[in-house]
Chains A and B, each alone.
Chain A
Amino acid sequence: MVRIRRYHRDYTRRVFVDRLSRGILAGGVLMPLWQAIAADGDSARAYPDEALSLEAYTGGRIGVGDTIDAGNVELVKELLDPIRYLQIERMGRRLQVLDTTTDIMRLSPWEYLEATLRHRGRALFAPDGNVVADDGGPWIGGNPFPEPRDGLEVFAGLTLSWGRHDVSVYATREEDIDDDGNVQYRYASVWAELAPVGRVALDPRPHWPGHEDKLRYQSVLFLAPNDVRGTSFLNIWHYDQNRYPDLFGYLPAFKRVRRYPTNQRFEPLIPGSTIYLSDAWAAGDPFLTWGNYRIVHQGPALGAVSRNWSAVHPDWEHSTHGGRKGLSFWDTAVEFVPEAIVVEAEPTGYPRAPVGKKRVWFDARTLLPLAMVSYDRQGNIFRSFDGAYSLYSDGATTVSDGAHPYWSWTHVHAHDVQTNRITRLQQVRALPGGHRTLVNDQGVYEKYLTQNALQRLGS
């Protein structure tokens, strides 16, 4: 049967280019994206068929089940950030191609999406720049700006909720790869985040009484190797995004919790790592400490937005490939994202930051970051941060978040292209010492997110 293509690839491209030139940001091509999502949770109706398929985009040359590698990456160069392109072209990185997920409920936590729909249109900016609900109080959960009009709204939504669960503990293994492709450092750590406001799953909600002036409690605890074991830092984020978080730290050498300055967010916490505090979720700083947000690109992209969970490994660990030793990159599955928004921002609150600007690729449907590329003060390309997401379910095995299959990130690359050092992170089931990935467990506050906890967990 001959299928009549009503909208070819250039039609969709022209729509995006036209919007960008007119300074308009609107999701969807055939209809407003969130109108389609609100109808039945399926984003497909917002785009023509031709804009939902990599096969169509590449004229049939790359399709589902194929591998993107150095031999064909030119065909998808415009769908990749420049560092992923470089990794594939020169360093042997490969991406497996999946079909496009159109069911929005598979692309973020269930409760978060429900809250996003429920609270549509109720967010606004207060005079001090912060996001408030229409009652003037803190935001009440979900993405406040699912149909963003500018880059600031995109970043505000991401910054207000990183992991999209009310509480998350990520048991994390990190490996730092040197220029020769060797694993130079290995770390095990626990990253915990808890939202006291805008809660969508845990009672009390939407706010935890007595904590309404805080946006987030977040800590990181290092478990291995021995010299960093027990080192931990607790960031207490003020709801006011003009303020830097309060930082408390426990260093084993000092045996006690002390308060630390927190404005140095552009350097690794541990030797060998290429991840900065500022990189977290591509929005690691209060969004009002950055500025000059602007949309620089709209169009399709390739993103690892689903089916990247490693269910076959008992601890969910992932396999690697690429680089000189086959250790540089996670095996990653990507799919064609019909519409991505690229937002540029500058660290206006950090005059001596080594970063001059960053560009973040967002999936327009979920407003999740697909990748981040930063540039140094001279404008040279500097570092990247790209992650993969998934429902933790492969049909046979499901990890539950309590009510629904668990959704989260699964692995991350951070690549400093100026030194060619790569940090790989992966979320694992558990780490020695009884530390496990957890979700929506209010007990995490006492376990990881108080000064008392830092003291107790320290060695």
Chain B
Amino acid sequence: MNRARRLPLAVHAAALAVAVAGSPAILALDLNVSGLIRQEMAYKLTGDENPFNQHGNVYNGKTVDNYVHTLFGLPPGITRPDYSESNDWNLQATRAELDIQATFSETLTGAMKVRAFHDWGVYDDYGDPNFFEVPLRGDCGTRLEVCGDDYMIDLPSLYLDYTNGGFWLRAGNQQIAWGESIFFRVLDVPNGLDLRRHNILDWASEEYADERVPGLGVRGSYRFRNNWELEGFAQEFNASIYSNENTPYNIVGAQFVRQEEETFDRVDDEWNFGARLRGQIGELGLQFIAVSRRNPDGVWRWTTSKVNSFTQAGLPDPDLGGVTLGQMLAQTPYEAFTGQGVFTAREWFEYAGLTRLDGANLQRQLDDFPAAKALTAGNGLPTSGVVDIPTSTLVLDAFFSPMLGLGDLRGHIERTYPREHIFGFGMNYMFYGEPDTLLDQLIVRFEATVTPDKKFTNIALGQDPTKETEWATSLVFEKNHRFTERFPATYMVLQWLHRSEADLFGRLVSGYDASATVSPPRGRDHYDAFALALQQPSPTLAWRFDLAVLYDAEGGYLIQPGVRWKPSKSYTVELYANFLDGDNGDAMGTVAWGDELGLRLGYQF
């Protein structure tokens, strides 16, 4: 072949050759788009309503004696208006998600998730509850969220990833999950939780994927010596988001008025920072963390109502000599004449117990709010030693008396977000034994954190938070074990959580075990809970049977059996039940009303 002929052939061959290796670093924009639409519902299995809502208040329509009335010979019975409703559904909502992954080059990629959630509001509830608007970032929970009474649309993921060798940088809105314990958040401290959609009662094996509150930030890591990785993040602080009052999964008594806007505005430009070192030494995996963050769950305390209840209600405001009663009341945590407050001392103590608070300790409030003390003293009521049920009952029922006092009162609380520093470590270790014995390939994980001088909600809702150094540990045993040749292995996890000061939700255990007749709370020394999770897939994995159990050492529990059916590439059906029980001596009592049958029907594309 002559040279003149060879050259065009070579050019032609080169043009046709597609190099798999050594491809150019710059690619055209390449998108991967997928998504889902899902109907999510939860049908109530009992007639119990959420007691934290007006329409589930356990005193609705009940007559309770006012102690002060009995002293003055007045008709003793006070009857809370009956706002009761009976619901069949706890949840009826539609979710749509759109995921887009973009590749800009070999080193630069990006991702965006759009999440839309609409609650159909098929509930008989009190008033016109607002499911999604919260006074944090504007009227919504995060910066990249739009919301209304019954919907929210947000971007839980919107970030760019840059990688270069062992270096990785992610910038944008993102969730950060650390640690290896599931459900028990020991090292998983960077983000708070958004409980507006289904609280923590959705499909348990998804853990907090839908709940973690994302934040704008930068997360980067560098891998070195093959097995070690140093990671750090700086992320704008976002608060945990609680369900609003009178919505199905509300966990804050609706007699409270939550003031969250002003206190969040004080810290809305604050950032959280964290670092993690993670590595592997043989069978031993290790990680160490240090985090400086604003506590996303916050610390609750009484705050002034800032409301002149008389003016607001169009009532004459009694002059107390240079100041009116309404003005004085505005400088206390209370708001009167709403019909939505606490009606009797008994209801007060009952709900203090439900909320894990010290209802008997009015002294703290009297000391924190001079106007409250003045009003109390002005009515000849005790202003010292008000730390037990008899004395507090006298004060409370005097104010709650519709004849002698103000009638029902709502209490205003605010949430602050103290900065705290968390130090922790985690380890995992794989045990080996004879093949297919129970100990073979058993993974043991242990995680521990310490938060020096952590600030907790004072159980009297005092202005000064309770400071304690908190230790949190989790011990996890995890294993796949094939019990029979006919079915794939059963995935089993057994976990133990120990916290020295607070429960699963961050509430001080000293506020445990109070009731309408017991206050101050008896408290607990510490918090211990156990979790068991089992997953048994069918041979084709088209079916998966789940069981998740959360057991509080003091007796409360969540048992969630479930089945997931994926009959085809597009459809998924998940059916599960939440069986809950507990009382004021354990954590699960807060949601003990919520037995339900959940169903999710999903179509993905």
Contact = CB atoms under 8 A, between A and B. Distances in A.
Interface of A: 183-187, 210-211, 223-227, 229, 244, 246, 252-256, 258-264, 266-268, 270-274, 349-354, 376-377, 392, 396-402, 406, 419, 421, 429-441, 443, 446-447, 450-452, 456, 459
A436 B23 contact: yes
Interface of B: 13, 16-23, 27, 30-36, 97, 99, 101-103, 106, 109, 111, 113, 157, 161, 163, 165-166, 168, 170, 175, 177-180, 182, 188, 205-209, 212, 221, 223, 225-226, 229, 278, 280, 285, 428, 430, 435-436, 440-443, 478-480, 482-486, 488-489, 537, 539-542, 566-570, 572, 602, 604-605
Contacts of B188: 256
Given A254-B209, A456-B161, 19 more contacts: A183-B569, A224-B34, A226-B99, A227-B36, A253-B205, A255-B177, A261-B443, A263-B436, A264-B488, A400-B19, A402-B21, A433-B30, A435-B103, A440-B21, A441-B21, A441-B23, A450-B223, A451-B229, A456-B163
Contact of B182 (A254, A432, A440): A254
B36 A459 contact: no
B17 A261 contact: no
A201 B481 CA distance: 40
Contact of B485 (A272, A352, A437, A439): A352
Contact of A244 (B212, B441, B443): B441
A434 B30 contact: yes
A354 B486 contact: yes
Give the 4 A-B residue pairs with the shortest CB-CB distance, closest first.
A434-B103, A433-B32, A267-B488, A255-B177
Nearest to B225: A210
A447 B168 CA distance: 10
B354 to A, nearest CB: 31
Contact of A459 (B113, B182, B206, B442): B113
Nearest to B602: A227
20 contacts: A226-B97, A227-B36, A227-B572, A246-B430, A256-B179, A259-B180, A260-B478, A261-B442, A264-B488, A271-B540, A271-B541, A349-B435, A350-B436, A353-B482, A402-B20, A432-B33, A434-B27, A435-B103, A440-B21, A443-B106
A443 B177 CA distance: 26
B604 A225 contact: yes
Contact of A456 (B13, B23, B168): B168
Contacts of B428: 259
A429 B111 CA distance: 22
B484 A223 contact: no
B21 to A, nearest CB: 4
B566 A433 contact: no
A258 B280 CA distance: 12
B182 A399 contact: no
A452 B221 contact: yes
Contacts of B111: 459
Nearest to A255: B177
Given A223-B32, A349-B435, A352-B484, A419 B540 contact: yes
A402 B22 contact: yes
B443 A437 contact: no
A129 B36 CA distance: 50
Contacts of A354: 485-486
Nearest to B279: A451
A87 B226 CA distance: 46
B166 A263 contact: no
B221 to A, nearest CB: 6
Contacts of A183: 569
A434 B285 contact: no
A397 B569 contact: no
- Identify which of A183, A260, A270 gathers the most chain B CB atoms within 10 Å of its CB: A260
Contact of A261 (B30, B478, B483): B478
B20 A406 contact: yes
Given A224-B34, A433-B103, A434-B103, A255 B209 contact: yes
A405 B278 CA distance: 41
Contacts of A187: 569
Contacts of A397: 16-18
A405 to B, nearest CB: 9
Given A352-B484, A432-B31, A447 B223 contact: no
A210 B479 CA distance: 30
Contact of B18 (A352, A398, A431, A433): A398
A296 B157 CA distance: 55
Contact of A226 (B35, B178, B482): B35
B17 A399 contact: yes
Contacts of B35: 226
Contacts of B31: 432-433
B206 A253 contact: yes
Nearest to B486: A354
B207 A254 contact: yes
A447 B163 contact: yes
B440 to A, nearest CB: 7
A451 to B, nearest CB: 7
B159 to A, nearest CB: 10
Contacts of B430: 246, 259, 261
A258 B428 CA distance: 9
B5 to A, nearest CB: 17
Nearest to B19: A400
B485 A376 contact: yes
A30 to B, nearest CB: 36
Among A377, A392, A432, chain B packs the most CB atoms within 10 A around the CB of: A432
Contacts of B485: 352-354, 376-377
B479 A261 contact: yes
Given A352-B436, A433-B101, A438 B16 contact: no
Nearest to B28: A434
Contacts of A450: 166, 223
Contacts of A260: 443, 478, 480
B170 to A, nearest CB: 7
A255 B22 CA distance: 32
Contacts of A441: 21-23
A224 B20 CA distance: 23
A253 B209 contact: yes
Contacts of A186: 569
B604 A226 contact: yes
A253 B207 contact: yes
B166 A452 contact: yes
A229 B177 CA distance: 18
A254 B32 contact: no
A262 B441 contact: yes
A263 B435 contact: yes
A264 B489 contact: yes
Contacts of B206: 253
A270 B541 contact: yes
A259 B443 contact: yes
Contact of B163 (A184, A252, A272, A446): A446
Name the residue in A274, A419, A446 with the highest tally of chain B Cβ atoms < 10 Å from its Cβ. A446
Contacts of B209: 252-255
A152 B62 CA distance: 81
A224 B605 CA distance: 9
Contacts of B33: 432
A350 B182 contact: no
B21 A400 contact: yes
A434 B27 CA distance: 8
Given A226-B605, A264-B480, A350 B435 contact: yes
